[in-house]
Structure 1
Amino acid sequence: MEKKQLLFLHGYLSSGEAFAAQTRFFSRYFECFAPDMPAFGKNTEMPYPYALDDYVHWLKDYMKKNGVVRPHVIAHSFGARVAVKAAAEDGTLFSSLVLTGAAGLKPKRTLKYRVNKIRFRLLKKFKSKDKLEKYYSSDYRALSAPMRESFIKIVNEHLEESAKKVKNPVLLVYGENDRETPLYMAKRYKKLIRGSRLVVLENAGHFAFAERVAAFNYPVREFLLT
């Protein structure tokens, strides 16, 4: 009997290798694919600063070239952005989605954030671009100019409307201590995606699938095989 296919989509500044524990575990049930998306891992090709739509286009092209048809998907963080956007555009593209630490929803803005934003706007008027570098996050400072442009395009696209259009079965898996994509985002995704289910893993953060491998794998296996 031919195995169903399982496609892994990694997070930002990561690679398919991030899912090594999952590909080992799930390969007994599925034919697994864990590609490096453009500009990440061993896939250094990004001919111009990609927006989310470009990653969706790349994904569809990758699936076509590799014979990946209606796979189940496990997607983390940025990878979940790509999966949600793609599933919203074409409900027949995937069989089901497991979204872990899924990004893509407009974040809550704390008072500290608002104060810092006003401060940064004032600084921009009086400081040179080079001197402003220290006010950016370390992750952002580490990016090349094309990657920065791509990053800005991606994080400024919010997926509330796309999430409402997802018709596939969806399992959301979040770490209770996730600071990058906090639990309020998980609960919002659950409301936006009709019929979706949420599993919260204790003592886990943004990389719940790597921090608590068995606790992640078993409920995901149950979801994918039933």
Structure 2
Amino acid sequence: MKKISAKKKVFLGIIIILLVLIYNGSYTDISADDLKKEYANEHSKFIEINGMQVHYRDEGKGFPVVLVHGTASSLHTWNDWTIALSKNFRVIRMDLPAFGLTGPNANADYSIEGYTQFLHQFLLKIKLDKFYLAGNSLGGNIAWNYTAEYPEQIEKLILVDASGLPTNKPQPAIFKMAKTPVLNSLFLYVTPKFFIRKNMEQVYADKTKITDALITRYHKMALRVGNRQAFIDRAKVDFKLGEKANLAKLKSIQIPTLLIWGAKDTWIPLDNGKRMNNILPNSRLVVLENSGHVPMEENPMESLAILNTFLND
């Protein structure tokens, strides 16, 4: 009789655990309409782009600031920034395709080129032609690519722990799982809250700031109809910056650029911020010693002070 290898035992153990979770209670999809009741508000609007009902918010008056969130997040990640900024600026933020209330893209195009064109279509629809642009993580990648394509529209660029350069380290576990056959199929039916908490603990430097309400919001957004499959499709797209043409894009950005980086970011380490600062011709890097991957969410007042200095300079 053949012995089962240790690796196979671990794999079978994972399958058994997941099957038990399914048996004890499936994590069914939540409709967009049900989520709107809880996570849309009086500032929420919906606009059709490529067949999607894109959720966005447009608040305050003044010079526009556009905020773009990262992978598996939503426009809510900018809540604290928006409360403060909307006193002096017009603040516009949206749920990107695959995430939040917007949900999946019908053509499943989650490439940077696809996201950049989505942002361009969105801004055309709301008739915005001059603005400050900020993005976190994936949103930062989209923001600097958009700026390279449409430099005449951006007055200032803000990149918060932005992706776009190789991290020279293994991908986070959530992305590995999304790329692994069988596990990614089970993810479509089982997305326990503790899994969301584990990922939040990776992106926050201070675990005590991770509240139940925060985990619940991320969890429910993940369960939005179509979002789990969209996350798998998005995770399969590798955003690698190895081509000279892509590096040339970063080097071409001449507008004033602020880089805000969490010193304790384990997903996109500070070294990436330093390298990006060296590539960009007109940039300044500010490091937040007590922040992880999402400083605008984890330490909003500290990161806002840096942002306001930059915008008012």
One-letter amino acid matched to 2:164: G
Partner of 1:180: 267
Partner of 1:7: 66
What's the CA shift for 1:132? 9.2
Local SS of the residue matching 2:151:
coil
Cα distance per residue 1:140-160 (max 9 Å; x no partner): 9x8744532333325345553
Cα distance in 2 for residues equivalent to 1:41 and 1:72: 23
1:204 paired with 2:294, answer no
Identity of aligned residues (%): 24
Pick aligned residue for 1:24 from 67, 71, 83: 83
Partner of 2:96: 37
| Gap runs ≥5 in structure 1 | 114-119, 121-127
Larger Cα Rg: Structure 1 or Structure 2? 2
One-letter amino acid matched to 2:99: F
> RMSD of the alignment, in Å?
2.6
Deviates more, 1:180-189 or 1:45-54: 45-54
1:155 paired with 2:155, answer no
Cα distance per residue 1:82-136 (max 9 Å; x no partner): 0111111121121111101111101214xxx5xxxxxx9xxxxxxx9437989xx
* Closer, same or farther: CA 216–45 of 1 in aligned 2, 3 Å: same
* Closer, same or farther: CA 3–149 of 1 in aligned 2, 3 Å: same
Cα distance in 2 for residues equivalent to 1:76 and 1:129: 29
Residues matched between the structures, number: 206
Local SS of the residue matching 2:91:
strand
Return the TM-score normalized by structure 1.
0.82
Q: State how 1:121-136 maps to structure 2 within 5 Å.
A: 129-130=181-182
Partner of 2:14: none
Cα distance in 2 for residues equivalent to 1:64 and 1:132: 36
One-letter amino acid matched to 1:192: I
* Closer, same or farther: CA 30–177 of 1 in aligned 2, 3 Å: same
Q: Is the 8 A contact 1:49 1:147 kept in 2?
A: no
Cα distance in 1 for residues equivalent to 2:185 and 2:97: 25
Pick aligned residue for 2:119 from 59, 72, 85: 59
Local SS of the residue matching 2:236:
helix
Q: State how 1:130-145 maps to structure 2 within 5 Å.
A: 130=182, 144-145=228-229
* Closer, same or farther: CA 69–199 of 1 in aligned 2, 3 Å: same
Q: Is the 8 A contact 1:14 1:41 kept in 2?
A: yes
Local SS of the residue matching 1:34:
strand
Q: Is the 8 A contact 1:178 1:206 kept in 2?
A: yes
Cα distance in 2 for residues equivalent to 1:59 and 1:188: 26
Cα distance in 2 for residues equivalent to 1:45 and 1:211: 27
* Closer, same or farther: CA 146–31 of 1 in aligned 2, 3 Å: closer
Partner of 2:159: 99
Return the TM-score normalized by structure 2.
0.60
Cα distance per residue 1:148-173 (max 9 Å; x no partner): 23333253455533211212210000
Cα distance in 1 for residues equivalent to 2:128 and 2:71: 22
What's the CA shift for 1:205? 0.7
Cα distance in 2 for residues equivalent to 1:212 and 1:147: 26
Q: Is the 8 A contact 1:209 1:217 kept in 2?
A: yes
